Structure 1
Amino acid sequence: MIWRNAEQCGQCLGDLAVAALIDEVELTPKPGLVDLQSSGSHKDMNAALMIASARSLYDSFEAMGYAAYGGESNKELRETLARIGRDGERNMLQTTGGINTHRGAIWALGLLIAGAAICGNGDAPEQIAETAGTLARFPDRHALVPTSNGTKAMQTYGVKGARGEAKDGFPHVVKVGLPVLRDSRRSKIPEKNARLNSLLAIMASLNDTCLIHRGGMETLLVVQQAAQKILDFGGVSSVAGWESLQQLDQDLVTRHVSPGGSADLLAATLFVDRLSNISLHHKETGGGVYYGKAYTSL
């Protein structure tokens, strides 16, 4: 167990979740997505807004960790998380002036926070993700009828979307994003490029409903193939891969599409990775982990 009590658990997981969201925003350059050098395909967003949005979610993420600490996956916890998530979404929208910056991330990270709080074992991503998946499969009696763009894409094209990803135990996090991130590191690839490779691997296989909603299945396939091509070149650390990344970014901006679902799962990947790192640090030092609103890299 990393944490001594529910308060520490909530603070730590809130920190890690916000830090993961900020890491995702600051990763530059990302194809079609908001980063430090451009707004990508989003005319109503920029990096400062995304970071403010991420920070506005700290209290909700902390509350989710607190609520799930030492508990078990059941319908009552699922509904508690949903209520906290809806509060978080209202805070987000108030911060952003009504712009949906992180709705999908609240869903994914909220479930993974709960999974981590229940498991209490930061070095077992698969266990955390499966626990989160179990929670996702419980119904929420108080849920509103889904009307999001992702839901519309799911209904039109028969893809699983964010809810299916969660119910399946986040396979694009533990079987795609995280392995590519760590394999890239083992190959001595710089951290920024390792994270970009992880994003591209998710993009190459995810049926991203953000892409589908705006561009249809044809655009999804084009983006998946382009992302896989970059990885086949050896990733963004290769000359051909880096040039292809710039081309993909230009193409997405021209098409006015953005792989927002992939970005959410990259943030989830970075969260699980950070959790594993903090668990390892805790074991090596015998404790001494900082809990609180740090928003800094470990």
Structure 2
Amino acid sequence: MRKTVRVAAVQAEPKWLRLREGVEQVVELIGAAAVSGAELVAFPETFLPGFPWWRWVETNQWNVEYSTRCRENSMSRDGAEMRAVTAAARRYGIHVVLGFGERQDRRIYMSQAVIDDSGVVLSVRRKAGLNGVERKVFASGAPNLPAVHRTPFGALGALTGQENQRPLLTRALRADGEQIHVAAWPGGMEGDTPGPDSSTTVSRMYALEAGAYVIAPCVVVGDGAWEGGGGQRPTGRARIYGPDGIEVIAPLAEGAQGLLYAELELRGGVDVGIARRPRERRGQSAARTARAGVGRIPSSDRWAMPLTIGSTASGMAAC
């Protein structure tokens, strides 16, 4: 049995450090993807309120100001901003994978939410393996294994940034039968050149190793990332790869803003546990049942499985 699903990868510049405008932008992109027939739209890493590229380019005093603004413009996983996003997913009947800065008390985390087409938040994971620059802005999340979600169109998993290179995390998704993988990236200040740390290289290798489709949304980084700091040429390019590692659709121009669409052909049946409901009934209580997380537990990352493998207390050594 074969099933075709239309997906969309976001390639856009965020409304840097302006949360209200950023949420409006996210809702608009969700609607545009759904109107074009997509069943899934994937956003880049920390799209709200924008990845902290300023850490690479300016002074410590300037960074303190921007780090404070980043915290003030991050959102909670159950606040008004997230409700606006889930309402859009429900209204348009589309699955959403969103990268966002999650504020809790005075800490902010690099989080990634998977939202179903009835507006239910299936999972929120906080990125644990931060690099040195990210740790200056964000707190590290609990080192939990990711979940694969059984959706009407296939088995969906997601990771953010360099998590896509961590074998312990990627193996967990492969072992659970992942068919569609979202590899969310924050873009970069330089052109999209191949190399050992390139998002394009990692995304393509993930597709080959997992035998899964990889949707790789990417932030467009321009002068807006640091308020016109020096004539930055906009960079960033979303990609969509097939299980053979070949791009299934030609990418948008580097630095262009928009949605990259592709038709994915999934082979083999998927036990999603539910029947596809008519669009007008998705808001009812029966449609709001969360679908197929892995290892639901009562914790801050309650939809993720606790990680128990590794040689250190954090368990990240094996990654």
Name the TM-score class by shorter chain. Answer: 0.3 to 0.5
Higher helix proportion: 1
Higher strand proportion: 2
RCO (CA 8 Å, sep 6+): is it higher in 1 or 2? 1
TM-score, normalised via structure 2 length: 0.33
TM-score, normalised via structure 1 length: 0.34
